[in-house]
Amino acid sequence: MKKIAAIFTLLPAIAIAPHLASAQASSCPANTVEISREVVTNGDEQTTRLHCRRIDRLTPNELSNLGAGALANLSPEDRKRVDFLRGLQSTNMRDRDQPLDAPITNDVGDRSAYNYFKVIEQFQVEKSPRYAEDSETYCNIFAEDVTRAMNAPLPQMVVNDMVDWLKENRATSGWKRVDERMAQQMAKEGHPSIAIAANVTPSNHGHVAVIRPASEGDNRGAAITQAGASNIDATHIEYLPAFSDPAQLQPIQYWYHE
């Protein structure tokens, strides 16, 4: 897995008047969060300095150690971003079972390949502990997170059950079954699209991957991003042997959402 950069640049510290330091909490600029504060003495005067970090540059340790005061001073939008990044860092099963409220979305009426890419990339599938394999794999969690951010949520269930759900709810869920070429075309137009296959053994797990915007008809198969035994940001169906192994999985189904 890629290593998270460990060197960051602090934004300029914010000096707070002495009488305000204890009376009320000051806050960092938008898109940043307080990671520490210090009292600086200069003769008879004291000032409190906040050390602020850009939210998108917080280390995992900084995310987990943010104080209640720092969180309380965030705008709703910045708090949402912090909570989202914290969710990506958690490997607690209870947290994995909770859907993430992603800050970047690609909603009906605003579909585009550009928005689709932004939605996928914010989940950082290759380095987010939320999707890292342990005794289990989490292809379904990743697919559920991405499709929820696109207002086309897949249900929270194992893949074999998800295949049945798609079949039973196609008339009302907005999901439509198509061939591989059409699924790739729909993804290129910004529509949520997936490749999914049930396991041949009902008690075992199948596999689901998110189709990425790309040109249809590629001889390597649909472009995908996935979690699983391997967490891969960008690859093609051809490079995932398990997806085409008839001893493991049933034939791949392709679906897209309006």
Provide the residue-wise pLDDT of the chain in tens; the chain has 258 residues. Answer: 443 333 333 344 443 333 233 323 467 899 999 998 888 888 888 888 889 999 999 999 999 999 998 999 899 999 999 999 999 999 999 899 999 999 999 988 889 999 999 999 999 999 999 999 999 999 999 999 999 999 999 999 999 999 999 999 999 999 999 999 999 999 999 999 999 999 999 888 899 999 999 998 899 999 999 999 999 999 999 998 878 888 899 999 999 998
Residue 113 CB partners (closer than 8 Å, separation 6+): 187, 188, 189, 190, 213
Cβ-based burial of 248 (10 A; exposed 0-12, middle 13-18, buried ≥19): middle
User: What are the boundaries of each domain within the chain?
Assistant: 90-257
90-257 has CATH 1.10.260.40 classification: no
How many residues are given for the chain? 258
Distances (CA, A) of 59 to 8, 66, 132: 9, 11, 18
**Greatest CA separation for the chain:** 78
Give the SS3 label for residue 38.
strand
pTM of the model: 0.85
